[in-house]
Amino acid sequence: MLKLHHLLVIIIATACSSEHSTKTKLNYLRWIGDIEFDSTLDNPDFELCHGESSVNQYFNFEQGLQYEGEKKSIIDEFDNKYQPIQSNESGLIRIRFIVNCKGETDRFRILTMDKYFDEKEFDPRIINQLLRITKGLNGWKILPNTEEARDYYQYLIFKIEAGNIVEILP
């Protein structure tokens, strides 16, 4: 009886430890919100300096907004270039993107919502202006790492009221 028990334990242990012959590779993003390359939206010449898995999230470097002249320079750019659209459009528009180790930007993604944070479509004239001006910002800082500069995510959130920008975050 004892031999039968040992044999049963060995069979169960062997069965549990054997690997399946077919392995399924699941493609998960590293973090929620990582921006994968999309050939229909993104510049194929934009290069990440250290690969997809090394792009720092904004919360990884704890240094806040990384732009020459700080937030005031960004606000000045939008004050000078944005033409308000006469409409009743109000809510939030987030533009998120990657800044590479050379200070270049790409992979712009837009998220729009109303004041209750429900998804909302905005007038394309508003979205197109914000996107064009954001893409034209050229003062993004290069973040040094211990040995070399690194890639990072950045975002701007625009609070819109009646077609006007009333606040830019962060």
| Domain residue limits, the chain | 43-169
Structure confidence by residue, pLDDT tens digits, 75-94: 999 999 999 998 899 999 99
Structure tokens of 35? 């921006």
Percent helix, percent strand, percent coil in the chain, to nearest 5: 30, 25, 50
Asked if residues 34 and 96 have their Cβ atoms less than 8 Å apart, the reply is no
- The average pLDDT across 64-73 equals 88
Residue 161: count other Cβ atoms within 10 Å of its Cβ.
13
Averaged confidence pLDDT in the chain: 81
- Cα(14)–Cα(81) distance, rounded to whole angstroms? 69
Instruction: Please tell me which residue, 131 or 6, carries the higher pLDDT value.
Output: 131
Structure confidence by residue, pLDDT tens digits, 127-169: 999 999 999 999 998 876 656 778 888 999 999 999 999 999 9
- Cα(8)–Cα(128) distance, rounded to whole angstroms? 68
pTM: 0.76
